[in-house]
Structure 1
Amino acid sequence: MKLIKLAAIAACVLSASVFANDPIIPVSPETKATTTTLRDKAINDNSAYQILKSLTTEVGARHPGTPGEKAGIEWGIKKLKALGFDKVYTEDVKMNGWVREVEKAEILVPSYQKMVITALGRSKSTPKGGLEADIVHFKNYAALEKAADNSLKGKIAFISNRMERLKNGGGYGPANIARSKGHELAAQKGAEALLIRSIGTDDHRNPHTGATNVAMGYTAVPAVALSNPDADQLVRLMEFGHTPKIRLNIQTKDLGPIVTKNVIGEITGRELPNEVVVIGGHLDSWDLGTGAVDDGAGVAIAMATGAFIKNNVTVNPRRTIRVILWGAEELGLIGARAYAKARQADGTIANHVIGSESDFGAGPVYGLQSSKNVSVNALHVVDTMAAIMGNLGVSRRGGDTSGGPDMIPLAALGVPALNLMQDGTDYFDLHHTPDDTFDKVNPEHMRQNLAVWTVFTYIAAEWPGSFK
């Protein structure tokens, strides 16, 4: 034990000496002053809100493989050009398309009642006329794991755990395993289908769809999300001693190979054009609503941030600001993985200085978090960003981050990332539901996001040091 402690101390001393020899480059007074001016102007700017209004109204839902997605891509190209980006282009992303067609569910026994459901991503179809079966209730995924293999023949597995509401969205991961992997487990147990309480925090009859862990093809059994009030109804029926029998009719379609796109706009760096600061959101959405909070808001915030900086400084920042509107995030980070793979292949991954994605709705930003990929000698820059964001209600936070879902593939390749932490208290009331619409977005919160993202993006692009 003593040898281990001595080795650890020696390593810390060595690390400290190495870091001590590295130059610490301060954020210049001029950069701080410009950033503060931009912040104070952005907090009164409605451009992000107006961009979101255009996307959700003139395009609407943007599910991969649909006319709406194609219209969204065309909208993104046209809007980036209109906003004055120096360079606008797209990159093809290959994938297998999937769409829903029929969704119907009814309680047959002990009393007839209609239920509100939606198919989970890449769910397979039931037989054409649907299937009828008793449900077997499991309080959570772990309870279903304990069931004997092939013990649910002729039954429908029902998982009823409720997601916990937390400001940072921390209740999502623990609940989400039922959605992502439950279909495989239900099939292993012999079930005819999987029925889960929606992974969401609302009490509305709006079911929450979402991705499963199927990259291509279909789930192992039909996989369905039930609105939370309907899930409660099933649980109450069982509390009265009944065994509900239900009819499910889910019809979906595999579109086969399709091509979607990542849409990219750049503000070219004046001195280091090959070094890029990545910001963005995902352009695709589920088909139930109009994709306002997931992730139209992130798309609008990123587009507005790049344009706002471009139009409110006398010269472009030192580095290139690259706004990426990722494609096909909802079905498995498909556009993000393609983007990262291409940069790894062409050797330009090292040019990615730092990045972040806005993909947690339209709530106000309250914290700034840096990833472990940010070097010790660059942490003072993040602290400076947080200090300038301070009067916007933002404070410096600890922990690690990937910088958002579509940043995960880049962060895995060593790209430093920041998390501009949004208040997600109500996010999972709307996420992946028909209620994800523009009227839920607060324009004041969008202005605050624009101001916060402007601070991060401008300093990251202007500071001459390395974040790695």
Structure 2
Amino acid sequence: MGVKGLVSKGLLLACLVLPLSPALAEPARIPDTAMALAAELRKRALDSRLSYEIVESLTTEVGPRLPGSPGDAAAVAWAEAKLAALGFDRVWTEPVTIPAWERGQAHAHTTSPFPQPLHVTALGNSVPTPDGGLQAEVAFFPSLEALQAAPPDSLAGKVAYVGQRMWKTQDGSSYGAVVPMRSKGAAEAAKRGAVAVLIRSVGTDSRRFPHTGVMSYAEGVPRIPVAALSNPDADQLERLARYGKPVKVHLDLTPRTGPATQTRNVIAEIRGREKPEEIILIGAHLDSWDLGTGAVDDGAGVGVVTAAARLIRDLPQRPRRTIRVVLFAAEEIGLLGAKAYAAAHADELPRHMLATEADFGAGRVWRLETRFGPESLPLADRFMSALMPLGIAKGGNEAHGGPDIGPLRAAGVPVITLTQDGTDYFDLHHTADDTLDKIDPAALAQVTAAYAVAAYLAAEMEGNLRPAGE
């Protein structure tokens, strides 16, 4: 999972202009027959290991899937073959243009007051250090805001260190508070003359695994190298600072940036029996960072939505609407696949009846959030009656749907969020520790059941979830 920011309210209002025919403006309802079949679907999903088997296949046969890498291309080929083998009615891919970036090597150590090795990794999009690395004194800041308050030129020749710590929360909400340090730190430090940046990893573990993630540069500001320290190494650096003597580090990063290249979104459908032109979209992102095998972020999501759609296909009767699975490309480097999908399907978005994404690991779903029109809000209770046996509670009506769903939400597509337990998610997020052994098959089956039930009910509903007149 990359930067998980929400689309701005202004963009949302600007984009809610897609017309719907009067026939699509009726409030939604779910027939009792669909509720009964949803209960059977829920049981089948809980008894199935298909989602886990899909993640196992992806992480074993492909592994890391950095956008633009050979692993990324292998993942696209794997997904096409897997979806076809699972019996989807149609499987296809669509192009996504992306920048090419390779991690290279990362080495760091303190040189004074006491020599110590440091575990670091380059952040995505970082430039390299000069050949042979650089050595400089460290300037310490507890937060991005403290760095931004530093006077101009106050960091000339220094390495800026930003040490804001992320804390565990069930819904992962602390990520949004801390991640600007990762995305903006290099630009802010460079404005003040710094030669490089070290940040405390945006993660909640105490292992010596640094967390990578994408960062960005500002126009007209020098591009300086930036790396993340594992949490224990960030602690070590801060202890050294307490001795009151200058702390100096040697940093050597060798990432490379190449010309623009191309990857692909992978899309598959179970065609609806009565309204095949209307779409229920369930998505995940196929790419991953390159340190681990991308099991939790977001192989789990790939397994969940693929298995959920297959389980719906295997019901005695096809769904009324089309179930579309979208495995988005290049989420980790800026939601590029999601933006490409929204642009390519702009004319079709008024017929997207609901969208959601599985991109928060493999923890159990504990809450349903909706984003329905006012006339359709009572429908949330129907969803809840089918989801409550899975231990899921009802949330509010401000769902975001998932990172890759942002462009669809901005265009007026109704969304839901099936909020997963993310208490330990950021222990693994963007690290070498993101591997298959961290996934509990029973928990993943519960997530799959939630997505299968929600997608099926949306596909079977009568009427439309959008506000009247939109």
Q: TM-score range by the shorter chain?
A: over 0.9
Match of 1:327 among 329, 333, 336: 329
Quickly say closer, same or farther: Cα 1:219–1:90, change in 2 above 3 A: farther
In 2 relative to 1, CA 446–218 (structure 1 residues): closer, same or farther, beyond 3 Å? farther
Task: Work out the CA distance in 2 between the residues paired with 1:407 and 1:218.
Answer: 31
Q: Secondary structure at the match of 1:418?
A: strand
- CA distance in 2 between partners of 1:330 and 1:318 (Å): 34
User: Could you report, residue by residue, the CA deviation over 1:42-96 in whole angstroms, capped at 9, with x for unpaired residues?
Assistant: 1111100111011011110000111111111011000001111000000000111
1:181 aligned counterpart, secondary structure: helix
1:175 corresponding residue in structure 2: 178
Matches within 5 A, 1:388-407: 388-407=386-405
Q: Return the alpha-carbon distance in structure 1 between the equivalents of residues 377 and 341 of structure 2.
A: 27
Using a 3 Å threshold, how does the CA distance of structure 1 residues 393 and 67 change in structure 2: closer, same or farther?
same
* Counterparts in 2 of 1:110 and 1:267: CA distance versus 1, 3 Å: same
TM-score, normalization by structure 2: 0.92
Contact 1:353 1:415 in 2 (8 A): yes
What residue number does 2:318 align with? 316
Query: For residues 315 and 157 of structure 1, what CA distance do their matches in structure 2 show?
Result: 60
Does the CA-based 8 Å contact 1:367-1:397 persist in structure 2?
yes
Match of 1:92 in 2: 95
Return the alpha-carbon distance in structure 2 between the equivalents of residues 25 and 300 of structure 1: 29
Which amino acid is the alignment partner of residue 280 of structure 1? G
Q: What is residue 3 of structure 2 aligned with on the other side?
A: none
- The answer to whether residue 131 in structure 2 is matched with residue 131 in structure 1 is no
Alpha carbons 2:295, 2:434 under 8 Å: kept: yes
Which amino acid in structure 2 is aligned with residue 379 of structure 1? L
Native 8 Å contact 1:281 1:295 kept in 2: yes
Contact 1:124/1:218 (CA < 8 Å) preserved in 2? Answer: no
Q: After TM superposition, list the pairs within 5 Å mapping 1:25-64 onto structure 2.
A: 25-64=28-67
Question: CA shift at 1:220, angstroms?
Answer: 2.1
Shift of residue 384, structure 1, vs aligned partner:
1.0
Equivalent position SS for 1:89: strand
2:462 to 461, 464, 468: 464
Q: Secondary structure of the residue that 1:206 maps to in structure 2? A: coil
SS in 1 for 2:330: coil
**Structure 1 segment 206-221 matched on structure 2, within 5 A:** 206-213=209-216, 220-221=223-224
Q: Which residue pairs with 2:156 in the alignment? A: 153
CA offset digits 1:4-38 (Å, max 9, x no partner): xxxxxxxxxxxxxxxxxx85443111011000111
* Superposition map of 1:265-304 within 5 A: 265-304=268-307
Looking at both structures, which has the greater relative contact order when contacts are Cα pairs under 8 Å and sequence separation is at least 6? 2
Q: Which amino acid aligns with 1:31?
A: A
| Aligned partner letter, 1:322 | R
Residue 14 of structure 1 aligns with which residue?
none
In 1, are the aligned partners of 2:355 and 2:401 still within 8 Å (CA)?
yes
- 1:443 equivalent in structure 2: 441
Gap change, CA 1:398 and 1:290, over 3 Å in 2: same
CA 1:88/1:322 → structure 2, altered by over 3 Å: closer, same or farther? Answer: same
Structure 2: tracts of 5 or more residues without a match: 1-24
Deviation at 1:219, TM superposition (A): 8.0
Alignment of 1:237-256 (within 5 A): 237-256=240-259
CA contact (8 A) 1:278 1:356 kept: yes
Counterpart secondary structure, 1:31: helix
**Separation of aligned partners in 1, 2:47 and 2:278:** 30
Structure 1 residues 126 and 425: alpha-carbon distance in aligned structure 2, compared to 1, 3 A threshold: same
What is the alpha-carbon distance in structure 2 between the residues aligned to residue 130 and residue 399 of structure 1?
50
Q: Secondary structure at the match of 1:123?
A: coil
Contact kept in structure 1, 2:187 and 2:223, CA below 8 Å: yes
Q: Which amino acid in 2 is paired with 1:400?
A: E
Contact 2:27–2:465 (Cα < 8 Å) also in 1: no
Q: 2:41 & 2:217 partners in 1: Cα distance?
A: 44
Give yes or no for the alignment of 1:358 onto 2:332: no
Equivalent pairs counted in the alignment come to 442
Q: Give CA-to-partner distance per residue, 1:137-162, whole Å, 9 cap, x none.
A: 00000100110111101100000110
Residue 348 of structure 1: how far off its partner (Å): 1.1
Determine the structure 2 residue equivalent to 1:336. 338
Q: Cα distance 1:351–1:215, how it changes in 2: closer, same or farther (>3 A)?
A: farther
Alpha-carbon distance in 2 for matches of 1:431, 1:288: 10
Deviation at 1:341, TM superposition (A): 1.3
Q: Does 1:197 align with 2:195?
A: no
Preserved contact between residue 166 and residue 202 of structure 2 (Cα < 8 Å): yes
Does the 8 Å CA contact 1:123/1:219 hold for their aligned counterparts? Answer: no
- Residue pairs, 1:229-244, within 5 angstroms: 229-244=232-247
Asked if 2 retains the 8 angstrom alpha-carbon contact of 1:318 and 1:464, the reply is: no
SS in 1 for 2:254: strand
What is the CA deviation profile of residues 318-348 of structure 1, one whole-angstrom value per residue up to 9, with x for unaligned ones?
110000000000000000001111122xx11
Q: Which residue of 2 aligns with 1:18?
A: none
More off after superposition, 141-150 vs 239-248: 239-248
Partner secondary structure for residue 153 of structure 1: coil
Contact conserved, 2:187 with 2:221, CA < 8 A, in 1? no
Aligned 8 A contact 1:215 1:332 in 2: no
Aligned-partner residue type, residue 112 of structure 2 = V
Aligned-pair RMSD on alpha carbons? 1.5
Mapped contact 2:363–2:421 kept (Cα < 8 A): yes
Q: Which amino acid aligns with 1:124?
A: V
Matched, 1:260 2:263: yes
Look up the equivalent residue of 2:343 and give its one-letter code: K
Q: Secondary structure at the match of 2:255?
A: strand
Contact 1:370–1:398 (Cα < 8 Å) also in 2: yes
Deviation, 1:316, is 1.2
How many percent identity over aligned positions?
Answer: 46
In 2, are the aligned partners of 1:262 and 1:325 still within 8 Å (CA)? yes
